[in-house]
Structure 1
Amino acid sequence: MKDIQTILENAYKAEPDKEAIFDGYRRITYRELYSDVENLSSALAHLNITKGDRVMVCLPNWHEFVTITFSLAKIGAIIVPCNTRYKADELSYILENSRSKAVFLIDNNDHIEIFKNKVNNTIESNGLEQIFTVRCKSEGYRSLEELIELGREKSTPKIRIDSREDIFSILYTSGTTGNPKGVMLTHYNVLKTAQLTNVALESSKEDVFLIPVPVFHIFGMAASIVPAVEAGAKMVLLEEYKALKALRLVEQEKITVHQGVPTMFILELNHPEFADMDLSSLRTGIIAAAPCPEEIVKKIRIEMGCNIVVAYGSTETSSTLTVTSLEDDDIIRSQTVGKPTSGSEVKIIDANRKEMPTGEIGEIICRSPGVMKGYFEMPEKTSEAIDSDGWFYTGDLGTIDNQGNLRIVGRKKELIIRGGYNIYPREVEELLYQHHSVLEVAIIGLPDTVMGEVACAAIKLKPGKEETEESIREFIEDRIANYKVPDRFIFLDELPMTPSGKIKKLALQEELRAKLHSTLR
């Protein structure tokens, strides 16, 4: 099995002068990308970054992220992507846990000062030796441009990569339920999943991928960047998502594959200038990370002309685990997340780890080429998540229908037990997403001395829309059993979100508990 670096080499040899990346700042051909990767990997090796070393990379959706990713892969070093919005405690935790040897930073004084202090304090450095800057200068530290120049004078060492064993990346989970865990993904994990993603999308070198999701997240990296390079396609990176900017890029760059979370597509469909845009180049794309209502799937297909597929996965599965097909109808795409990718197995089990019958709700477990090697230096957490037979326990609840399609019900830890009855938040959320005024919604459990828990719907409305608790309650109460109707409805201007577009339910629950404290029983 080839490694990550090999796919870039193949794309370069096939069409060296084909445009590989446009990020609004620079256009780069595969020849230029390959050259930069060769030179950077040479420089890093010269500076004693060796196989197995961890390197933190705190960059937004810039072309430099791609260069650094493939350079580290070439020398067998491990990329540790970080959210550019992380604060001191979050960055320090990841540095301490990963014991990264070097870090790439942008012009963020807070970040630069944090890491300068670490490097200069041997006790706190946790092994951090070098700081590299990107698109900025910082006295005493090399910039990416200087590294690439240095690499021109050095030879690149030949490093043997065992794709099934050697770690390509350590991505830290969002930490919605405690401290983030470092997910170790091998070259094989990410590359095999990328290939399966391309099969689902029927990708080719003619495609142009729009990547508006963060590249430091599994969706941006394993389901977007790596598939695009594996196909020899072009990538258009969007640094900060804005609906109008995305629409303009589709028109300008003739985007064929549009990746994204449901909110992105909803914002584009509802933008005042949507009807004026030429979106005829759109062919397909992946929508993931949150439920997508049937009406939105239909609008994406008809009004955008984009034959979207819906996928499900996690950081621990290298992203895509299941996916709908280009032939599935809108109901399957909106109510399920499709079938397992080739070579993947999915089962539904009960609390005793016994497989459940078709249609019954239980925990989703899986075996697939993308399942992680484990959590970095957390053997107990790893053994809790992956059993001796290689089954990964996702913590998600779902069902499998007669056709083999998986339906997500929610997270085990999000299950609300109201007066002895189980409420699965996702079921209620999917209904509320069908309301014409609802942009985002989350169902949260709140403590109640009588019922044990009650359900609260936190809702963000579409721009210009007005609703009341009564109007939303009226919309939903005839559609589900009365015990599933939320006890409270609260309207918020914003819901706390992870970089991948998921609502941070733990943070939202804490916010609502504090906000509604005086009225809770």
Structure 2
Amino acid sequence: MELKNVTIGKILSDKIEKMPDKNAIEYENVFYTWRELYDISDRLAIEFLKYGIGYKSHVAIWSTNSPDWIVTYLSLARIGAISVLINPNYKENELIQILEYSDVEYVCYGKLAVCNDIVSCLKNKKIGKIKRYIPINMATDLKDDGTFSISLEDMEKLKKAELKVTPQSIASMIFTSGTTSLPKGVMLTHYQLVNISIEATEEMRWTEEDRMCIALPLFHCFGLSVGLLASLYKGFCIYLLSKFRTTCVLKCIDEYKITLLNGVPTMFLALLNNSGRKNYDLISLKSGIIAGCTVFKEDYLKIQKELKLEKLQQSYGQTEASPSITFNNYDDPIAIKSVSVGKVISNVDLKIVSTEDGHELKAYEDGEIIVKGFNVMKGYYRLPEQNSKKITKDGWLYTDDIGHVDDDGNLYITGRKQEIIIRSGENISPKEIEDVIIRYFDVDQVKVFGIQAPFVQEEIVACIIANCGKTIHIDNLKEYLKKYLADYKVPKYIYIFNKFPLNANGKIDVKKLKKEVQLRIG
């Protein structure tokens, strides 16, 4: 693939020239054409400029999926602002940490009740560099109003702002969890996000006549790059859901004859387990990407067979790589696609290296996966020490994932160096949860990890030692955790121990602890 030196705004303007009246988005039975999307983004971009938002301004988008989210994102991209994409499930404490770390100046928030409630509280506090909170409802309001008139003076200001934006400008800051309790902000450019979206459309052979149901959250790199931006490049219509609900997805596929569906393994498995699935016609489904976390061979085969998704392609990546690193070849046999995440994408190099001394390993030898190419992030925001550990001076990104390649270059993921928990496609830091639990009264020690589970891939377990002579009530602890953690981070299993098993160097023996937990679960 030949890399294109263009911005997100340029890709959008191309749609106006080639297919202005073609539908771009459907949401709750309302369609938006590419022309409407562009015109509304004109108006919103100008409003942003009047607020003082401009090139390199840090602007949070805190909302569930909606046309307003999309118009806000595109408008910010056009004027060169950096969109800071925030999980709408964050509670107040988590949100404040993210806003302060990422130097957010403006917060664009959606209609979700929790957003409005928390914003009301935040407005009464001095938080970092925040200057203004902006409700986003421009897409809905202007669609209803139908007027898009803009003065020549305002249009000139917009054009002037757009000229400052280059393909190498940072487009977005997207968060990923690591071994530290605070998520890290990954800085990605227009060039990286656009070219990953192009790569996906070419690997998957998508066309402008396809129709994609997007239930993946847009604040995740997966939903953004190979969902929204892929449609922006190729021109197919996306049918947007505010969040993933199996019945809504099934209804969408049936009603709109959806051809493309991307998701994490747990999403596809949930569709299979919907008791009403047989009532919907899913024959239109043609292809999709399954990624975000490891899918077991048996699950892949079941999904592929039951949904008749012959071109269900595995892909491997991470936010730090924009996010795509590999794709199954389009015509790979099922025997390969069910166990391998495919070959490295064009314009990117991949190696497997020893975790002990860093030398390159041969085929079938397990080691750490490292990659180098256009997709490698510009770095974590304000974390120079983390950056030096993650990316070498000559550009190699160390993924912390363990795997090997076969003789044909197909990659197989076999584990990961760190203890990150992956639950329903969400990367969850055990330390973040441990940091909250340890503050609960009468907790002496805590260890958090994930255990394999059906449908969600991993469930969160918290093992706790209470202070001597004290009693911890599990239900009370869970209520406490819900105040400080998003619901998906609250452990499903919490067990009290008298002591933890230790290894020879005095550290907790996690393998033994997991075995004890499995015995308790039964």
Identify the range of structure 1 (151-160 vs 212-221) with the bigger mean alpha-carbon deviation.
Answer: 151-160
Deviation at 1:115, TM superposition (A): 4.1
**Distance of 1:397 and 1:128 partners within structure 2:** 40
Q: 2:295 aligns with which of 292, 296, 307?
A: 292
- What corresponds to 1:434 in structure 2? none
- What corresponds to 2:214 in structure 1? 211
Tell me the TM-score normalized by structure 1: 0.77
The answer on whether the counterparts of 2:7 and 2:166 sit within 8 Å (CA) in structure 1 is: yes
The C-alpha deviation readout for 1:470-506, integer Å capped at 9, x for no partner, is xxxxxxxxxxxxxxxxxxxxxxxxxx9xxxxxx97xx
- What corresponds to 2:460 in structure 1? none
Q: 2:329 aligns with which of 325, 331, 342?
A: 325
Residue 59 (structure 2) pairs with residue 79 (structure 1) = no
**Distance of 2:179 and 2:393 partners within structure 1:** 26
1:370-409 equivalent positions in 2, closer than 5 A:
370-409=375-414
The answer on whether the counterparts of 2:371 and 2:396 sit within 8 Å (CA) in structure 1 is: yes
- What corresponds to 1:12 in structure 2? 16
* Matched residue type, 1:202: R
- What corresponds to 2:508 in structure 1? none
* Matched residue type, 1:459: A
Identify the range of structure 1 (163-172 vs 67-76) with the bigger mean alpha-carbon deviation.
Answer: 163-172
* Matched residue type, 2:230: P
**Distance of 1:147 and 1:81 partners within structure 2:** 28
* Matched residue type, 1:405: N
The C-alpha deviation readout for 1:66-85, integer Å capped at 9, x for no partner, is 11111001000011111111
Deviation at 1:88, TM superposition (A): 1.1
**Distance of 2:43 and 2:409 partners within structure 1:** 48
The C-alpha deviation readout for 1:353-409, integer Å capped at 9, x for no partner, is 111121111111101221100111112211111101100011111111111011111
- What corresponds to 1:421 in structure 2? none
Residue 502 (structure 2) pairs with residue 517 (structure 1) = no
- What corresponds to 1:181 in structure 2? 184
1:51-70 equivalent positions in 2, closer than 5 A:
51-70=55-74
The answer on whether the counterparts of 2:105 and 2:131 sit within 8 Å (CA) in structure 1 is: yes
Stretches of structure 1 lacking an aligned partner (at least 5 in a row) = 137-142, 416-424, 430-439, 445-452, 463-495, 497-502
**Distance of 1:151 and 1:372 partners within structure 2:** 38
- What corresponds to 2:436 in structure 1? none
Deviation at 1:273, TM superposition (A): 2.6
The C-alpha deviation readout for 1:406-458, integer Å capped at 9, x for no partner, is 1111210239xxxxxxxxx99xx9xxxxxxxxxx9x9x9xxxxxxxx9x9855
Percent identity of the aligned residues?
32
Tell me the TM-score normalized by structure 2: 0.77
The C-alpha deviation readout for 1:118-143, integer Å capped at 9, x for no partner, is 5555xx3322111111349xxxxxx9
Residue 367 (structure 2) pairs with residue 365 (structure 1) = no
- What corresponds to 1:127 in structure 2? 129
Deviation at 1:105, TM superposition (A): 1.2
Deviation at 1:275, TM superposition (A): 2.6
The C-alpha deviation readout for 1:183-213, integer Å capped at 9, x for no partner, is 0000011011111111111111111111111
What SS class does the counterpart of residue 338 from structure 2 fall into? Answer: helix
- What corresponds to 1:26 in structure 2? 30
**Distance of 1:117 and 1:461 partners within structure 2:** 36
What SS class does the counterpart of residue 128 from structure 2 fall into? Answer: coil
* Matched residue type, 1:24: E
The answer on whether the counterparts of 1:349 and 1:364 sit within 8 Å (CA) in structure 2 is: yes
* Matched residue type, 2:65: N
- What corresponds to 2:49 in structure 1? 45
Residue 87 (structure 2) pairs with residue 93 (structure 1) = no
**Distance of 2:410 and 2:452 partners within structure 1:** 29
Q: 1:132 to 1:320 in 2, by over 3 A?
A: same
Deviation at 1:114, TM superposition (A): 4.4
What SS class does the counterpart of residue 45 from structure 2 fall into? Answer: helix
* Matched residue type, 2:72: I
* Matched residue type, 1:327: D
The C-alpha deviation readout for 1:235-257, integer Å capped at 9, x for no partner, is 11111212121111111111111
Residue 154 (structure 2) pairs with residue 152 (structure 1) = no
What SS class does the counterpart of residue 407 from structure 1 fall into? Answer: strand
* Matched residue type, 1:273: G
Deviation at 1:99, TM superposition (A): 1.4
What SS class does the counterpart of residue 309 from structure 1 fall into? Answer: strand
1:136-285 equivalent positions in 2, closer than 5 A:
152-153=150-151, 154-155=154-155, 156-158=158-160, 159-161=162-164, 163-175=166-178, 177-285=180-288
Residue 320 (structure 2) pairs with residue 316 (structure 1) = yes
The C-alpha deviation readout for 1:249-289, integer Å capped at 9, x for no partner, is 11111111101111111122232332332222111110001
Deviation at 1:95, TM superposition (A): 1.0
Deviation at 1:461, TM superposition (A): 7.2
Q: 1:191 to 1:272 in 2, by over 3 A?
A: same
C-alpha RMSD of matched pairs (Å): 3.3
The answer on whether the counterparts of 2:42 and 2:75 sit within 8 Å (CA) in structure 1 is: yes
- What corresponds to 2:359 in structure 1? 354
> How many residues are aligned here?
441
Identify the range of structure 1 (190-199 vs 16-25) with the bigger mean alpha-carbon deviation.
Answer: 16-25
**Distance of 1:104 and 1:148 partners within structure 2:** 23
Deviation at 1:148, TM superposition (A): 11
Q: 1:392 to 1:151 in 2, by over 3 A?
A: farther
Deviation at 1:149, TM superposition (A): 7.7
Deviation at 1:107, TM superposition (A): 3.4
The C-alpha deviation readout for 1:141-190, integer Å capped at 9, x for no partner, is xx999999898343223223554531000011135642111100000110
Q: 1:519 to 1:252 in 2, by over 3 A?
A: farther
What SS class does the counterpart of residue 60 from structure 2 fall into? Answer: strand
Residue 453 (structure 2) pairs with residue 459 (structure 1) = yes
The answer on whether the counterparts of 2:172 and 2:188 sit within 8 Å (CA) in structure 1 is: yes
- What corresponds to 1:487 in structure 2? none
**Distance of 2:116 and 2:170 partners within structure 1:** 27
**Distance of 2:241 and 2:117 partners within structure 1:** 27
What SS class does the counterpart of residue 394 from structure 1 fall into? Answer: strand
Q: 1:164 to 1:36 in 2, by over 3 A?
A: closer
**Distance of 1:147 and 1:77 partners within structure 2:** 27
Residue 7 (structure 2) pairs with residue 3 (structure 1) = yes
The answer on whether the counterparts of 1:364 and 1:396 sit within 8 Å (CA) in structure 2 is: yes
**Distance of 1:128 and 1:111 partners within structure 2:** 16
What SS class does the counterpart of residue 163 from structure 2 fall into? Answer: coil
